[in-house]
Amino acid sequence: MNYTEGSAVIADDRAFINPKAKLSRDATIAYAKLKPGLKSALDATSATGIRGIRYCKELGLDEAVLLEINRSSYESLKSNVESNSVKNAKYENASVQEFCNREPLRKFDLIDVDPFGSPAPYLFDILKVAHENSIVAFTATDTAVLCGAHLSACIKTYDSVPMHNELGHEAGIRILIGFFARLAAQFNYGIEVGLSFSYMHYMRTIVKLIKGSKSALSSVKKLGFAYKCRKCGWIGSEQGPFTGISRCPLCGSEIETSGRMWLGSLIGDDVRPGLAKSMEEVMGSDKREYRFMESLSLEPDIPFYYSIPKLTKLMHLPSISELALSKKLEEAGHVAAITHFEKNCVKTDATIEEIKDAITSISKNGA
C-alpha cells in the first residue's frame, strides 16, 4: 500500500516509516522555507527516504545525499527515490560515521538526523560535513531517558541530570540542545536555535551553526541548571557553572537540580512571525498541525512553567484553568501563556508569589 505525504509517495515499505513523525518533517520544511538559499541536504538516517525525497522536491535543492546503513532498508530507499523520479538525490548504503569521515570536504546546507532512539551517537560526525550557517535538525525518541525515567542513562549519554517531574519534557529538550551546543563548540561553532518542540513520543530541534570562537563561547555560556522545590513549588534556573545551590531561596527546603542544559531561546525570534503561515502552506489539510505550530509560536521565551494542579494542591485549593490564570497574570502586566510541553501549565515572568496570589483571587472571586 502506498503512503503519500507532501510531494512523496512511498511504495516500498521494507523500511520502517512512521506517519506520526509527519509533523517533524512538515515543521522542518516549513522552517527551511523561511531560510532561502538552501542548495544541499544530507539525510543521515533515511530508512524509506521520505524525508530526503520531500526535501528535494519541496525545497528546490540542487543536491541531496540519503544514507541508510541497513541493507534491506537501503533497497527500499533506492526504490522509493527512483519511483519518485528524484534526479538530484544520491543514496548510499553507509553509516553516518563512515560517510562523514570518508567525505570531510563535502559540506551541506541542511543536515537531518532522525534515528530510532538517541541522536547522540551521530551528532559529532555530522558536524564534520557542516559549514558556517548550516542548519542541523535532529530528533530524539529516547524521551524516557531525557525526561528522567532512566537517570544513569541520561548522565551517560548526555552528561546531564534530567528532571523527573512535570518539567521533564522541557528540561529534556534543553538537555538535548545543550549536549549539541557542547559538541558544536569543539568545532568552533556557536548555535542559534530556530525551532524546538516535544510532540507525542519524540523531541525535535533545528539549529543554525554560527562559526567563530566568540559564537561558540557565547553558546556555551547559555548552558546552566534548573531547580525545583517540591515543598513550595518554586522553580528557578541560572546560566553558567553550578553555584552549589541546594536549598530553596523561598522556604529553605532541599531542591531538585537538573543540568547542564541549554537555557537560551527555543524558538528564533526571526522564525516566530512566519512559522504558522509557512506550516499552513506545507501541511496540506492537517489543521491540527497548524494549530500546534501557531500555539508554539506564541509561547513566551521563558525557561519552564508552573503546573496549576501542582500549585493548587500545595495551596489546598481547587484547580483552575490555564486560560483563566494567564488572563489574570496578563491583566497584572505579566507575560503569560500556555505551553505545549505539559497540559494545565503556564509560562510566565511572574514570581511564584504573584502566581499564587492570582490563583487565590480566581478561586475566591472567579476572576
Domain total in the chain: 2
The CATH number that applies at residue 357 is 3.30.56.70
Q: What confidence tens digit (pLDDT) does each residue in 289-312 have? A: 888 988 999 999 999 999 999 999
Q: Residue 286 pLDDT more than 80?
A: no
CA-to-CA distance for 84 and 87, rounded, in angstroms?
9
Average pLDDT in the 74-79 region?
Answer: 94
- Same-domain pairing of 217 and 342: no
- Model pLDDT for residues 31-45, shown as the tens digit of each residue: 999 998 999 999 999
In terms of Cβ atoms closer than 10 Å to its own Cβ (0-12, 13-18, 19+), residue 338 is buried
Q: What's the full length of the chain, in residues?
A: 367
Residues 130-168 have pLDDT tens digits of 999 999 999 999 999 999 999 999 999 999 999 999 999
For the chain, where are the E strands, in sequence order?
3-5, 8-10, 40-43, 63-67, 89-92, 110-113, 135-140, 189-199, 202-211, 223-229, 235-239, 255-262, 306-307, 336-338, 345-348
Instruction: With cut-offs at 50, 70 and 90, classify the pLDDT of residue 243.
Output: confident
What percent of the chain has pLDDT above 90? 87
Assess whether 36 and 79 both reside in one domain: yes
Look at 243 and 23; give whichever has higher pLDDT. Answer: 23
Residues 240 and 344 in one domain: no
Residue 48: the pLDDT is: 94
Is residue 30 domain-shared with residue 79, that is, in the same domain? yes
Q: Is the pLDDT of residue 1 over 80?
A: no
- Contact between 205 and 193 under an 8 Å Cβ cutoff? The reply is yes
pLDDT tens, 80-90? 999 999 999 99
Task: Write out pLDDT tens, residues 301-356.
Answer: 999 999 999 999 999 999 999 999 999 999 999 999 999 999 999 999 999 999 99
pLDDT of residue 276: 84
Q: Are residues 166 and 43 in the same domain?
A: yes
Strands of the sheet containing 255-262, edge to edge, are 235-239, 223-229, 255-262
Cβ contact 347:305 at 8 Å? yes
User: Are 125 and 145 found together in one domain?
Assistant: yes
33 and 152 share one domain = yes
Of 237, 267, 297, the position where a domain reaches its end is 297
Model confidence at 123, pLDDT cuts 50, 70, 90, reads: very high
pLDDT level of residue 200 (50, 70, 90 thresholds): very high
Instruction: Among 252, 269, 297, give the residue marking a domain's end.
Output: 297
Mean pLDDT value across the chain: 95
More confident residue, 286 or 141: 141
- For cell 557542547, the residue is 182
Are 334 and 187 members of one domain? Answer: no
What is this structure's pTM? 0.96
Q: Report which residue type is found at 114.
A: D
**Residue 113 maps to which CATH number?**
3.40.50.150
231 and 267 co-located in one domain: yes
Together in a domain, 230 and 337: no
Q: Which of 275, 297, 319 is the last residue of a domain?
A: 297
Q: Give residue 13's pLDDT.
A: 67
Of the pLDDT bands very low, low, confident and very high (cuts 50, 70, 90), residue 367 is low
Q: Is 319 exposed, middle or buried (0-12, 13-18, 19+ CB in 10 A)?
A: middle
Region 231-239 average pLDDT = 97
Whether residue 156 sits in one domain with residue 71? yes
> How many C-beta atoms surround the C-beta of residue 20 within 10 A?
10
Q: What percent of the chain has pLDDT over 70?
A: 98
Residues 350, 289 share a domain:
no
- Containing structural domain, residue 320: 306-365
Per-residue pLDDT at 173 = 99
